[in-house]
Structure 1
């Protein structure tokens, strides 16, 4: 494991170099130069102080092999610097020019069917191609040599959204590198055969030269899951090695300017092992695009929580999000009044010290012409641009108040996330192909909010032993090492909540024997005080069969039930009951259990539950063990109506409350989660932002309390002394 790089934050061109970074991707090469001065005038009007420049500009910088043109880039960088706008300069390697693809077609990746991924989109290159790497690193070197000492360039933006179009490559270059990767990982061919269980289906190989990629094997074929999981790791590692190669070329020439690359952490975009990538950047950056529907804000906070954990609670950089609708989803919903400001400030509430968009000026052509931008097609005299300016004012106010550099205060509960479990749940050889680790993490995160608490999302590979409770939602893959970490954590007084379909296989995708969950050679089973024999899987595909099973506590399960036995000293919190349970021979079988272990406790949730049922579980059955896990500091200043966890979330009077603490003070963020008004009492302090928020009658409040009424999309930010 590589060492964590020192956190280094890029400076702005402000008087003290500090402030919340505000801006977005800027593509001046899409526009005639007479537009540039107008762009900068409007940027200053909106209080933009940084742009990401040159992300897709390779062709303009290098119009032909051996030919360079930096003059246009010099001119725009100088204009921006003169206006006090700093530049996060890209390595421009995300998409190569057409001349390179035409002359060197061997750089193009291939899909599992052997089809070439043709040029014309983004990232149509193999991370394992020595030809592509040679050209890419030459570009990095040329940029670094020219701009290392340019004061306007304050950070380096390496690549862009690695893996967006080349996460999996099945080319001959990839095959060559996969064989070398396997040799480094396993050392001997016997170790590889053992890890992959190659004796099944006569798949044993006798040298690393015999190793194959998991290419297409037929319409109904099933890939060896151990091999597939290693291929996922390999693809992640190859892209990470490519990023590091770019970074190192630039950092050697320009060592004083921090390097980053933008992750893609959101509900359906978590392709990489970003906990691993986080150790290789100087500051963590993320692109987040909202999930339409009523989960909008909760999903944002859940994704940001993972980003904050990867950043080790240091401030992080929102490199991209959208001012309104995008153009690449099945449903491209726009943002309503108040949502642009609310979403942006919610990212700040979750630890971001940079709020940036794709992009500054909305494109007039190309694949993203209908992707919203800071300056829309309608121009400066538009509601959208007015809201961008409103956001600039708010961020400027927060900067003056001292928010930048403050850190997000942790909760007492860690919901654990593992990229490897996310990859594994996509395997087509599992008892159900409807598992989704990341979605279950999101549901548990939302459930804690519905229960009036807040949890953090933390990588499994991180240090989570400082929390009082950890949750493992659909953590399919657990190594022996991680199983023993959980055992030690519980024995020392922690509470471990293990979800269904957790700990079924180890890191080599081998099933632990002796009953489920078998992780750690039965360590997880011993800690939980249970033993599972079989899974019961429900679904609409079985016509005429029961599609749900009730629990004795009124909850309902619809996908996966574990048929378990419990040890005598385990407490049964709920059993399967009713007609569905009778039909599937689960009547009276424990569904949710609790088992004292050492000085702590291990809880098993043996079936899938809807979000509202998880919230009820947290607030009722688990309330005693979770009493002190909502926050690591005392900020009990909010009054919430009692939340009925079974109620429709759209009418819950619920607040997302986070705290950032720094040398300049304590900053409280209160954000309405639902559509209905909510009143909140807060400690007296300086009000920094009050959007869709009015001060209510405070005459009956305790001393030093003020009551506010927050409407839909309302956000209240206050400052108090540390």
Structure 2
């Protein structure tokens, strides 16, 4: 693949080594195609249903399934008895029908006999209660007993199916951390002490990192290190200790995954390995930048967020997944055809969204579209979770949509989409798992912070401004981007601060928001004024010095709960913007700082902020650094992006766009492209443009070059380059790669 301008470096060069990329083959003549299918649980059904399943899979275009994810008890019904016969039969049936198998290690749930015989494998919550069996992941990753049984199962599976031509990939575990992310068992305590010993070397270093002179917590040896169990209803946990416990939990589960993977790889080294991440802007519990190094291809489970942000949230989550995949193809291992059953509000998908969501994942770099699950369960906790075949069977709207999707994915594969890479933006929004963990601390000025939600809000602001940003882990190389945004990146190390300063000095543009760079990697506050990261280097780069935070909230009865901003000088871009949570009380400390907006009005005066700088820009080296000293909503962030970052269209081949408003059926001409999510995927010889409508309005596109590959809820006009794309519609066109 030829490089896309400015996109290769941040995706192909990370600060750590990783496994070579390997993609599972399909059972097609050349092994290629966009993978399509889902979790298949034949052990929930009588065998006389299996042939009907395969008939319907063939009808829908299913070419891969994930198998045996929760089947340990069927494979090993007692400690001394194994039963692989049923799995042999279904793998053989699937393979002969041309359906590849992504075979699970089956360790997500253990048989009840294991828990009964060895209750010590159960994790414990912070109160000391066992996390009992009956759900998923009811096991401690630090339990040597559980690991022994799990690895025995892995080796049995590898020995039996490692050479099976129908098994083309290994699916390790399932959603690691879903129920055992934080384990407070005695096994975990001993493992945590060993982890601290490896990390810090000496007890003095650990005492310093955790700041144990506060509240008399100094330790004289690692055997006094403790995990943050329940300390009282109103007690606050040492934040440095809690952050390390988060890191430890991530590392223990990652180590368990690697141990399972390696047990199979010793016997079956020639099949790719993956596990399903859980990345959406409502969950991202692991440091997936570290996990991505240990899989052969990146996989993710994503479930939609109902409401008007549905598509934007999907694209934001996918943007991080694509960065983790370093621009290589990645797998949607699970999403839903319609409603789930585990939310307070379980809405079904709107007209077109079942297909649209799947094509949106492809637009963001996915080459595999899979659902949970193939056939809706007749019983159990997820019986009312939507599936590819619903309870009402094949003569349903939902199954017809599944078949339509299968045909559409085949068309995309035939056109050559598979293996193409997602073109990068020139803007990167930085994501940090550690900052996300840190925002959950109860020791911060506000407990309403959310790093990941702020990333999402910035992402939406760029879309609203007619552009698209990438989401890139802080640990990766983002030096080739033109603009970097740091939303609530609470934790900045000295090294990362120096990377930022070097980026700006070399001509880059950085945007730092209101709660960034307050803490180092030990959860120690940087001193000398806010934001103090890098012993004041971040302050110097921004040209401001903060003295205090001003926190607002509805709980302060009779006091203002919002403050307005006003532009300064000739600038009116941010007039009327509103901050409702957090304001920095800063003074301008640099000779080249331009104040773009200040706090203004009676509410600002109430807190001695009237006239205080709220938004600033500073020249630093050959670049510039912006400071947003307060929280802003998506609409105000959009104004900032459009007004001050001077966002240019994301492609030199922007179409003309007409948008049909909700109040009128007549198209309305608009000046930018906020009504369309436009992404570009590129192969050696072709470029694929994906256009997805973002709102409820029909959108008319003109000047579209290329051959239409997909017209989903879209029509081509009499002018060859004109199209109308309806709500939840998708247009995909193919054009030659101009770099050839």
TM-score normalised by L of structure 2: 0.94
Structure-2 separation of matches of 1:305 and 1:419: 15
1:186/1:469 CA distance change after superposition, 3 Å: same
- CA positional deviation for 1:203: 0.3
Please state how far the C-alpha of 1:150 moved relative to its aligned partner: 0.2
1:653–1:678 contact (8 Å) kept in structure 2: no
Which of 595, 600, 622 aligns to 2:645? It is 622
Equivalent residue of 1:201, what SS?
coil
Q: Is the 8 A contact 2:303 2:335 kept in 1?
A: yes
Aligned match for 2:577, one of 545, 550, 555 = 555
- The structure 1 residue matched to 2:628, chosen from 598, 605, 609, is 605
Match of 2:365 among 336, 342, 351: 351
| CA deviation profile, 1:324-357 (whole Å, cap 9, x unmatched) | 0000001101012210010000000000000000
Equivalent of 2:538, from 524, 528, 551? Answer: 524
Output aligned runs, 1:638-649, within 5 Å: 638-639=656-657
The CA distance in 2 between the partners of 1:654 and 1:321, in whole Å, is 25
1:684 Cα deviation (Å)?
2.5
2:731 paired with 1:716: yes
What is the CA distance between 1:652 and its match in structure 2?
Answer: 9.2
In structure 2, C-alpha distance between the alignment counterparts of 1:5 and 1:462, rounded to whole Å: 16
> Does 1:315 pair with 2:332?
no
SS at 1:596 equivalent: strand
Q: 1:568 Cα deviation (Å)? A: 2.9
1:634 maps to which of 652, 656, 660: 652
Shift in Å, 1:697: 5.1
Q: Distance in 1 between matches of 2:639 and 2:674?
A: 16
Deviation at 1:45, TM superposition (A): 0.1
Secondary structure at the aligned position of 2:521 is classed as: coil
The answer to whether structure 1 residue 685 and structure 2 residue 706 are counterparts is yes
- Output the CA distance in 2 between the equivalents of 1:573 and 1:342: 40
**Which one of 599, 606, 609 corresponds to residue 586 of structure 1?**
609
Aligned pairs for 1:427-446 (under 5 A) are 427-446=441-460
- Shift, 1:682, TM fit: 4.0
Per-residue Cα deviation, 1:634-687 (whole angstroms, up to 9, x for no partner): 3333536699xxxxx9x9961000000002411000000000111112432111
Q: How does 1:390-469 map to 2 (within 5 A)?
A: 390-469=404-483
Distance in 1, matches of 2:699 and 2:645, equals: 26
Q: How many residues align?
A: 706
In 1, are the aligned partners of 2:466 and 2:674 still within 8 Å (CA)?
no
Contact 1:641/1:653 (<8 A) preserved: no
SS state at 2:189 partner: helix
2:653 and 2:327 map into 1 onto residues whose CA distance is 19
Aligned counterparts of 1:369 and 1:335: Cα–Cα separation in 2:
17
Among 678, 681, 687, the alignment partner of 1:660 is 681
Q: Is the counterpart of residue 213 in structure 1 residue 227 in structure 2?
A: yes
Separation in 2, partners of 1:92, 1:467:
41
Q: In 2, Cα distance between the equivalents of 1:397 and 1:38? A: 25
Which stretch of structure 1 is more off in the superposition, 665-674 or 578-587?
Answer: 578-587
The answer to whether the 8 A contact 2:679-2:689 is kept is yes
CA contact (8 A) 1:402 1:664 kept: no
Aligned match of 1:646: none
User: Does the 8 A contact of 2:714 with 2:731 survive in 1?
Assistant: yes
Is there any run of 5+ residues in structure 1 with no aligned partner, and where?
Answer: 644-648, 699-704
Contact preservation (8 Å) 1:14, 1:84: yes
1:701 counterpart residue number: none
Say which SS state the counterpart of residue 223 (structure 1) adopts: coil
In structure 2, relative to structure 1, the CA distance for the partners of 1:653 and 1:7 (3 Å cut) is: closer
2:238 and 2:106 map into 1 onto residues whose CA distance is 37
1:571 maps to: 594
2:697 matched to 1:671? no
8 A Cα contact 2:277 2:299, kept in partner: yes
Q: Equivalents in 2 of 1:268, 1:454: separation in Å?
A: 20
Aligned residue runs from structure 1 range 271-310, under 5 A: 271-310=285-324
CA contact (8 A) 2:657 2:699 kept: no
Q: TM-score, normalised by structure 1?
A: 0.96
Q: 1:236 to 1:62 in 2, by over 3 A?
A: same
Distance 2:458 2:131 in 1: 38
Partner of 1:378: 392
Would the aligned equivalents of 1:653 and 1:677 in 2 still touch at CA under 8 Å?
no
| Alignment match of 2:264 (pick from 236, 242, 250) | 250
Residues 380-420 of structure 1: CA deviation (Å, up to 9, x unaligned)? 00100000000000001001000000000000000000000
Please tell me whether residue 480 in structure 1 is matched to residue 494 in structure 2: yes
Gaps of 5+ in 2: 1-14, 567-574, 662-669
Aligned residue among 8, 24, 34 for 2:48 = 34
Aligned partners of 1:103 and 1:641: how far apart in 2? Answer: 64
**CA distance in 2: counterparts of 1:411 and 1:636, whole angstroms:** 14
- Cα drift, residue 622 of structure 1: 2.6
- Would you say 1:88 and 2:109 are equivalent positions? no
TM-align CA RMSD: 1.6
Aligned 8 A contact 1:685 1:719 in 2: yes
Q: Distance in 2 between matches of 1:314 and 1:387?
A: 28
Inter-partner Cα distance in structure 1 for 2:97 and 2:200: 55
Change beyond 3 A, Cα 1:640–1:579 = farther
